[in-house]
Amino acid sequence: IEVDVKTDLTPSELEDIIGVYHGLSIRSKTKVTKDLLSKAKNLKVIGRAGIGLDNVDIPAATSADVAVMNTPLGNAITTAEHTIAMLMALSRNIPRATATLKDGKWEKKNLRGREIYNKTLGLVGIGNIGSLVAERAMGLKMKVIGFDPYQAAEAIEDMGIRPVTFEQILSDSDYISIHTPKTKETTNLFNKETLLKMKQDAMLINCARGGIVNEEDLHDVLKSNHLGGAALDVFETEPPGKICLMDLDNLICTSHLGASTFEAQDNVARDVATQITDYLLTGEAENIVNQKSD
């Protein structure tokens, strides 16, 4: 396999050269559109170093007979660790403590935190990342409940998680963490109505995808102090700019850093290189998300 590394291409630069390639490896920035695919006359496979495939027009790839694959495992631990970091930072006001101290202030009373010991963590989505978050939360002595319509109750119980309905997640959790892809069903899943069903003072963490939580509704619910706080790693539009949420003290945020560790980026790069090579050389199809249209 001959490999060309070309980063930072504009969409039209990529369109100009894509015709000669059999494989295309991307991270999150490159958009694989119908237009790009119409120029990709030799393309057989697109590999995403990472999980989310929001940047690939999968139906267009399927009709062009191009396989689309992701690497669902290589950054799962890193993302689970980021979720726990958000949970801790939110509970102990670490971002505000850093900011006020750097501003010359010595705040204690305003920044009193809360223990996570014995608190209930509700997981929405218990796939690769959700299950790793559960393991870690149990290690921190949290009680973990979970909702995942794609998993059997016994499989959820086997992970030590109590299976519950979505409504029970809302009413019973002290913390809710989201680990689902963004789909028609999950877009705006957390809106004013569902957010207000959460326990007064509960906290919400989203390290999955922007748009699963409605940002305007979250703003209103946080502003009214119904929720204790929220931690967002992902946004409806990225970068989000100065959206209304940014003015709130009870929101903490990171710039889609969930999968951003040296280890995870190395893992997904190796995974995608191996998968693309195997596919092109032997036809072995690992982590393909679309079916060939023949």
Residue nearest to ligand MLT (CB): 50
Residue closer to ligand MLT by CB (options 71, 93) is: 71
Q: Which of 179, 209, 215, 236 is catalytic?
A: 209
Residue closer to ligand MLT by CB (options 238, 249) is: 238
Place of tokens 């982590």: 287
- The token duo for 27 is 């991270």
Measured at the CA of 212, the angle between CA 260 and CA 97, to 5 degrees, comes to: 55
Strands 162-163, 175-178: parallel, antiparallel or unpaired by DSSP?
A: unpaired
Closest approach, Cβ 269 to ligand MLT, in A, equals: 12
Closest approach, Cβ 47 to ligand MLT, in A, equals: 12
Closest approach, Cβ 120 to ligand MLT, in A, equals: 26
Q: Which of 82, 179, 219, 256 is catalytic?
A: 256
Residue closer to ligand MLT by CB (options 28, 254) is: 28
Q: Which residues would be at the binding site for ligand MLT (CB under 6 A)?
A: 27-28, 50-52, 75, 258-259
- Say if residue 258 is exposed, middle or buried (CB neighbours under 10 Å; 0-12, 13-18, 19+): buried
- The token duo for 45 is 């496979």
Residue closer to ligand MLT by CB (options 52, 160) is: 52
- Is 256 catalytic? The answer is yes
Quick check: 244 and 223 in contact, CB under 8 A? no
- Is 209 catalytic? The answer is yes
- Is 154 catalytic? The answer is no
Contacts of 255 (CB under 8 A, 6+ apart): 233, 238, 239
Closest approach, Cβ 147 to ligand MLT, in A, equals: 21
Q: Which of 238, 263, 284, 286 is catalytic?
A: 238
Inter-residue long-range contacts of 40-47, CB under 8 Å, 24+ positions, other chains counted? 40/64, 40/66, 43/18, 44/279, 44/280, 45/69, 45/276, 45/279, 45/280, 47/23, 47/71, 47/272, 47/273, 47/275, 47/276
Name residue 253's beta-bridge partners: 232
Residue closer to ligand MLT by CB (options 45, 259) is: 259
Closest approach, Cβ 258 to ligand MLT, in A, equals: 6
The residues annotated as belonging to the active site are 209, 238, 256
